[in-house]
Amino acid sequence: MTMRNKIVAGNWKMNNSLTRGIELAATVNRLIRKREANNVKVVLAPPFIHLAEISRLLDKDRISLAAQNCSSEPKGAYTGEVSAKMVKSTGADYVIIGHSERRMYFNESDKELLNKLTLALENDLTPIFCCGEKLKERENGNHFRTVTDQLNTTAFMLQADQFERIIIAYEPVWAIGTGVNATPQQAQEMHSYIRKLVSKQFGNEIAGRTSILYGGSCKASNAKELFANADVDGGLIGGASLDADEFVEIVYSA
């Protein structure tokens, strides 16, 4: 049986001052170090301005750092943008790409997302690539088609040796920040479907090694049940990652 990485990543989104962010990261770091190491990769994704400072305080053997986004351009006159190379220079090893909020509020196109994936990989960053359907698409029974289309035009455009370096995060948009989460059965159904898509595109071996995370109102109270599913390899955690104790409990649920 192929062993996949279990991963719990905390996406802080646009929250926390620099001071508060350092305090939160330091608390997570301390709580993780107090507990026996498990087989879960822990990743923190604070805002850009926190990355370099937090990188200096983390125990890198236990916790890695991610950016929440990167530019679709390598460098140049793009005021306000942050390139993959710049992200890497802070000490980050991961980057979230294609989050539903980026697609929804910033109208990120498939071409931009593919550029971001390529640049992240070129700069030795591991992309956490997001896909998922809106409520209307779920209600209309189009959730599988939506996710298929999102992957076909982005991550599945990569070469096999590129794709096997990425992580997929399934985020049902209707469950993000709503307090409603997909049932463990719904999560497993979609994760299994995504793994079959990967297998069809890149073969069983790569599909078996691809970590697929669940993102959508995952909390300490439901994490264990969600993570117990065969094809759920951890979580991309939003609001619950802003509470150090809660986040660490989720880490130890995987």
| pLDDT tens, position by position, 50-97 | 999 999 999 999 999 999 999 999 999 999 999 999 999 999 999 999
101, 108, 112, 171: the catalytic one is: 171
d(CA 50, CA 19): 9
pLDDT of residue 174: 87
DSSP state of 191: H
pLDDT tens, residue by residue, 190-235 = 999 999 999 999 999 999 999 999 998 899 999 999 999 999 999 9
What the block records as the tokens of 179 is 């307090």
Catalytic one of 50, 99, 143, 191: 99
Q: Give the chain's end-to-end CA distance (angstroms, integer).
A: 18
Domains and CATH numbers, the chain: 6-251 (3.20.20.70)
237 vs 38, residue with greater confidence = 237
Q: Which residues pair with 126 in a beta bridge?
A: 94
- 143 assigned to active site: no
